[in-house]
């Protein structure tokens, strides 16, 4: 087996760094600094920007600290450039 990076290892390496999180209901996304997580991959972010897709376009909201329910997280992207910085 090739050497690999376990999923929780990747999450752990992101502590203190910016990440981008996409929720299951894909109309909500978050960027912020990962402050902590647990075995259910519940996550605490700080300096958060929430992106919500509305019929009027993407809406950004600033939040200080946010706890995300791990069950509702679909994907996590280290680096945290978010839906606005992603290259198409």
- Residues found near a copy of itself in the complex (CB under 8 A): 1-2, 4-12, 15-16, 23-28, 35-38, 41-44, 59-79, 86-88
Closest distance of CB 12 from a copy of itself, Å: 6
The vertex-47 CA angle with 49 and 18, nearest 5°, equals: 85
Closest distance of CB 15 from a copy of itself, Å: 4
Q: Give the residue with the Cβ less far from a copy of itself, 31 or 68.
A: 68
Alpha-carbon distance of 23 to 38, in angstroms, equals 17
Q: Give the residue with the Cβ less far from a copy of itself, 11 or 31.
A: 11
Alpha-carbon distance of 51 to 18, in angstroms, equals 15
Alpha-carbon distance of 70 to 57, in angstroms, equals 26
Closest distance of CB 44 from a copy of itself, Å: 5
Alpha-carbon distance of 12 to 36, in angstroms, equals 8
């Amino acid at each position: 087996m090739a050497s690999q990076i376990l999923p929780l290892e990747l999450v752990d390496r992101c502590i203190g760094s910016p990440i981008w999180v996409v929720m299951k209901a894909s109309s909500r996304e978050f960027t912020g600094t990962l402050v902590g997580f647990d075995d259910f991959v519940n996550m605490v972010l700080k300096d958060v920007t929430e992106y919500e897709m509305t019929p009027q376009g993407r809406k950004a909201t600033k939040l200080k600290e946010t706890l995300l329910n791990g069950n509702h997280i679909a994907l996590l992207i280290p680096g945290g450039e978010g839906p606005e910085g992603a290259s198409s």
